[in-house]
Amino acid sequence: MSAILELKNLNKRFGQVIALDNFSLELRAGEVLGLVGQNGSGKSTLMKILAGLQAPDSGEMMLRGKPVQIRSAAMATSLGIGMVHQEQSLVPNLTVAENIFIDKPNRATRGGLYRWNALFAAARAQLEKIGVNIRPDVPVEELSFAERQQVELAKVLAIEELVDHPPIILFDEPTSVLNPDEIKILFREIQRLRSRASIVFISHRLDEILEISDRVIVMTNGVKVADEQVATLDRDGLYKLMVGHERELHERKVSVPEAEQQPAAPRLKIRKLGDGKKLKNFDLDVASGEIVGLVGVQGSGAEELCRTLFGAGDSSSGEIVLDNVPALALNPREAVRNGIAYLPSNRRLEGMLAGRTLFQNMVITYGMEYGRSRFFVNNRAERAAASQWMSRLKVKSTSGKDRIERLSGGNQQKVVLGKWLMSKKLKLLLLDHPSRGLDPGARDDLFEAIREQAQNGMSILFVADTSEEVLELADRVIVLKDGRITGSYDLRQGNLPSQEDIVRAMV
């Protein structure tokens, strides 16, 4: 099988951080190449170089047998290289159609004049490729996160019409916000593309890598440590290549209480909660030290529940009681005062302060607990606490003084979580897709940190990425559909549902 793309001894540094270290790669015609590695291993940097968003410090690139330097995203597009970004690249106030063709010549926009009917028809054809029914005239800012990801995919697939030769499509964590049915559509599209394109596919979900890829490259600290055919690998073997050791399985403890034993009083009581949209008369109790996992398709109400509890919704009604104190918050500031923390699904936009250091991001919420006042900042105490949590969460950085945007997406996510865990007064932790963007090793470290917080008495409510995840971490599983509870399973009492049970309750 001939090589379409060859990379030889690529190097890239960001200050003291080595992103790529004499990295070499070969992508073959019609191949789906899986690319895996821990957070900060250099995967996204490599993709950005291929997409023309960054330049290597040194090394060679050969495209279809000819030397090439990709100097811009427009040049990458003209060469037939398209990328579905992990961090979405759409313009919020433009329509779906405008976003799809914003970087591509099109008869509907020739001469600076928009022929709207033709533009919408062309966009609709791209959306139909992936089987989604999104109106091309809708502004992107009105779409859900998952819908925007689908537009990203349609945007990059439009590159097929621009070039005569087979394109190269780069997928950087494309499934992170998609539900199982949407992932099936994506994989079906990838199978269609492989007959006329070469594909690089990044995912932290090892089962997906093994399902869709022909070959897998494993990266560690910017170095290629393995290049294997999928047929020779299984999930455990791939995990060990990535993390450096075998996975430690967490054994669930099942404890059936005696008949006369009274159940623990709930720490959190939710009664008749509404958000004006999805949630209506919603009831739920969560005990101290309990981990409750929420599952449901996009729009089930799980995300809305977390945002409403944190006072981040548009409106709220009903009753929330936390430690026998009313805790219905009208805004996040009130929620924080009530001892509630929230890790949003879109960490980059809602969870972190770009342009600030890791230390500044970690201490911004709870600096008062470490001696901060209106006129005085106890830098030593704040930084000591921040460094402790960065170490416990295994944040990969050269210094706490690094700017947060220079970290990989997974390491940014750890910092955003650590910001909340620094509080000594936290009672309720709300996690919206906490493992999204984390490699398997980092995900296991995160789950261990969550279990530790629960053992210390914290109540935890989290929205799971997959049914496998919720069965692994949660003490109790709550299935939501259209803002209502359609399934409830207490795993500690041996009420262990199958994945099929969960899926039936979801749909």
Cα 292 to Cα 459: distance, rounded to the nearest angstrom: 8
Residue 225 in any domain: the answer is yes
Cα 284 to Cα 227: distance, rounded to the nearest angstrom: 48
Residue 146 in any domain: the answer is yes
pLDDT at 378: 63
Question: Residue 69 in contact with residue 156, Cβ under 8 Å?
Answer: no
pLDDT at 194: 83
pLDDT at 260: 44
Q: What is the average pLDDT across 492-497? A: 83
Burial of 108 (0-12, 13-18, 19+ CB in 10 A): middle
pLDDT at 389: 85
Cβ contacts of 376-379, under 8 Å, gap ≥ 24 = none
Residue 345 in any domain: the answer is no
Phi, psi of 107 (to 5 degrees): -60, -25
Last residue of a domain, one of 370, 394, 424: 424
pLDDT band, residue 8 (cuts 50/70/90): very high
Question: Residue 35 in contact with residue 217, Cβ under 8 Å?
Answer: yes
pLDDT at 298: 74
Last residue of a domain, one of 365, 397, 424: 424
Would you tell me how many other CB atoms lie within 10 Å of the CB of residue 269?
Answer: 17
Q: Which residue has the higher pLDDT, 386 or 375?
A: 386
Cα 131 to Cα 204: distance, rounded to the nearest angstrom: 25
Burial of 301 (0-12, 13-18, 19+ CB in 10 A): buried
pLDDT at 27: 95
Q: What is the average pLDDT across 16-31? A: 91
pLDDT exceeds 70 at position 371: no
Q: Are residues 72 and 178 in the same domain?
A: yes
Collapsing DSSP states into helix, strand and coil, what is residue 478?
A: strand
> What proportions of the chain, in percent to the nearest 5, are helix, strand and coil?
35, 25, 40
Q: Are residues 335 and 367 in the same domain?
A: no
Residue 257 in any domain: the answer is no
Which of these ranges, 141-150, 234-243, 426-435, has the smallest mean pLDDT?
141-150
pLDDT at 258: 44
Last residue of a domain, one of 369, 395, 424: 424
Among 417, 425, 432, 470, which Cα is nearest to 306's?
432
Q: What is the average pLDDT across 225-252? A: 81
Measured CA distances, 394 to 18, 69, 401, 404, 490 (Å) = 18, 35, 16, 15, 31
Which of 39-43, 323-327, 421-425 is modeled with the greatest confidence?
A: 323-327
Provide, rounded to the nearest whole percent, the portion of the chain with pLDDT above 70.
92
**Chain centre to alpha carbon of residue 97:** 25
pLDDT at 139: 95
pLDDT exceeds 80 at position 1: no
- For tokens 């259209």, name the residue: 482
pLDDT band, residue 421 (cuts 50/70/90): confident
pLDDT exceeds 80 at position 263: no
- Average pLDDT value for the chain: 86
pLDDT band, residue 26 (cuts 50/70/90): very high
Q: Which residue has the higher pLDDT, 62 or 503?
A: 62
Please count the structural domains in the chain. Answer: 3
pLDDT at 264: 65
Each residue's pLDDT tens digit, 174-217: 887 676 777 887 888 888 888 878 999 998 888 999 999 999 99
pLDDT exceeds 60 at position 81: yes
Q: Are residues 141 and 172 in the same domain?
A: yes
Q: What is the average pLDDT across 88-103? A: 88
Each residue's pLDDT tens digit, 162-184: 878 888 999 988 887 676 777 88
pLDDT exceeds 60 at position 350: yes
Q: What is the average pLDDT across 250-275? A: 68
Structure tokens at 145: 């996160």
Q: Are residues 374 and 289 in the same domain?
A: no
pLDDT at 376: 62
Range of the domain at 230: 3-243
Collapsing DSSP states into helix, strand and coil, what is residue 368?
A: helix
- For the domain that residue 318 is a member of, what is the CATH number? 3.40.50.300
Q: Which residue has the higher pLDDT, 162 or 86?
A: 162
Q: What is the average pLDDT across 223-228? A: 94
Residue 260 in any domain: the answer is no
pLDDT exceeds 70 at position 132: yes
Cα 122 to Cα 157: distance, rounded to the nearest angstrom: 12
Residue 254 in any domain: the answer is no
Q: Are residues 173 and 77 in the same domain?
A: yes
pTM above 0.75, yes or no: no
Which amino acid is present at 281?
N
**Beta pairing class for 266-274 and 317-322:** antiparallel
pLDDT at 200: 95
Q: What is the average pLDDT across 362-383? A: 71
Residue 289 in any domain: the answer is yes
Helices (H) and strands (E) in the chain, counts: 17, 20
Q: Checking phi first, is residue 272 left (phi over 0); if not, alpha (psi -120 to 50) or beta? A: left
Provide, rounded to the nearest whole percent, the portion of the chain with pLDDT above 90.
40
Structure tokens at 284: 């739920």
Q: Are residues 415 and 477 in the same domain?
A: no
pLDDT band, residue 334 (cuts 50/70/90): very high
Q: Are residues 412 and 437 in the same domain?
A: no
Each residue's pLDDT tens digit, 250-259: 555 554 444 4
Q: Are residues 174 and 43 in the same domain?
A: yes
pLDDT band, residue 228 (cuts 50/70/90): very high
Q: Are residues 230 and 286 in the same domain?
A: no
Among 490, 447, 434, which Cα is nearest to 250's?
447
Q: Are residues 365 and 229 in the same domain?
A: no
pLDDT band, residue 285 (cuts 50/70/90): very high
Which of these ranges, 82-86, 171-175, 377-381, has the smallest mean pLDDT?
377-381
Cα 418 to Cα 25: distance, rounded to the nearest angstrom: 35
Residue 256 in any domain: the answer is no
Q: Are residues 169 and 283 in the same domain?
A: no
Phi, psi of 51 (to 5 degrees): -85, 0
Q: Are residues 270 and 378 in the same domain?
A: no
